Structure 1
Amino acid sequence: MKPDPTPEIPADALVARYLIGAGMQILARNWRCRYGEISLIAQDAGTTVFVYIRTRTRPPFQVPPEAVSFTKQQRLRRLSLLWLAEQEGPWWRVRFDVAAVILEPGCEPEVQYFRAAF
C-alpha cells in the first residue's frame, strides 16, 4: 500500500483557511484554559465568531449542528465568556458557528460551514 502523497492537514488549519478565504480574520486557534478549548475564534465584520469543529467521514453522519449537543453548546458559551473576559474588547456581537471537515478516502477534505448554528 502506497502512502498518501499529501500530508494530512489538521482540521482546524483547513477551517482557518476556509474562513480566511471567506474574508474573516482569525483571532485565535486552539485557545485553551483549564475548563476546555475553543478550536477557532474569528472576526467577521464586527462579530466575534466562535467555531466548533467536527471531523466526519462519509456516509452516514449527522448534520454537524445536530451533532453538537446542548451540553457542548453550553460549554462553548462558557468558554467564550472566559476568552472575552481576557480581551481588551469591545466585543458586542458574538456568533457560534459549526464547521465540519468531511474526510473521504481518496478525496480531498471538504469543509462544510454552518453560520449561527446555535
Structure 2
Amino acid sequence: MPTKQQLGRLGEQVACRYLRERERLAVLARNWRCPAGELDIVATDRARLVVCEVKCRSGTGRDGPLEAVTPDKLARVRGLAARWRAAHGLHHLEIRCDLVGILWPRSGPIRLHHVRGA
C-alpha cells in the first residue's frame, strides 16, 4: 500500500491524465509553490485558467475525498491562482477553480469525481 504522500502523487497523475484526455485541458504546471502555498494542478482551456485541487483517499472508512476541501482551503486556492496568473502575466484569463476527488480502494476500480467551478 502506498504512503499518503505517494497516494497523493498517484492521484495527481490520474487527475492530470483525466483533465487532458476527458476535459481537453492543457496542463501548465503541477505542484506550483510560492510562500503562500501550493497549487496541485494549473491548466487552461485557452479561455480561462483552470486551477484544480486534488484530494485522494484509499478507503471508504472516512468522508469522501472532497469533504476535505473546506471553504477556507478553497479561498486559499483562489488566492494562489491569482498569484500564479500574475506571476505568469496571464491577467487576461479568468480563473476557474475545480476539485478532483479520487477514491482509490484496495480492490476494485478507482473512482474520480470532478467538480467544475467549485
Deviation at 1:59, TM superposition (A): 5.0
List gaps (5 residues or longer) in structure 2.
none
Q: Distance in 2 between matches of 1:24 and 1:108?
A: 24
Q: Confirm whether residue 99 of structure 1 aligns to residue 100 of structure 2.
A: yes
Q: Distance in 2 between matches of 1:11 and 1:63?
A: 11
Deviation at 1:88, TM superposition (A): 2.5
Which has the higher Rg, Structure 1 or Structure 2? 1
Task: List aligned pairs for 1:38-53, cutoff 5 A.
Answer: 38-53=39-54
Task: List aligned pairs for 1:21-60, cutoff 5 A.
Answer: 21-22=21-22, 23-56=24-57, 57-60=59-62
Greater percentage in helix: 2
Aligned to 2:84: 83
Residue-by-residue CA offset, 1:58-90 (whole Å, 9 max, x unaligned): 2552472x5321211111111111111111224
Tell me whether 33-42 or 52-61 shows the greater mean CA deviation: 52-61
Give me the CA root mean square deviation.
2.2
The total of aligned residue pairs comes to: 111
List gaps (5 residues or longer) in structure 1.
none
Instruction: Give the 3-state SS of the residue equivalent to 2:113 in structure 1.
Output: strand
TM-score, with structure 1 as normaliser: 0.81
- Does structure 2 retain, via aligned residues, the 8 Å contact 1:48–1:91? no
TM-score, with structure 2 as normaliser: 0.81
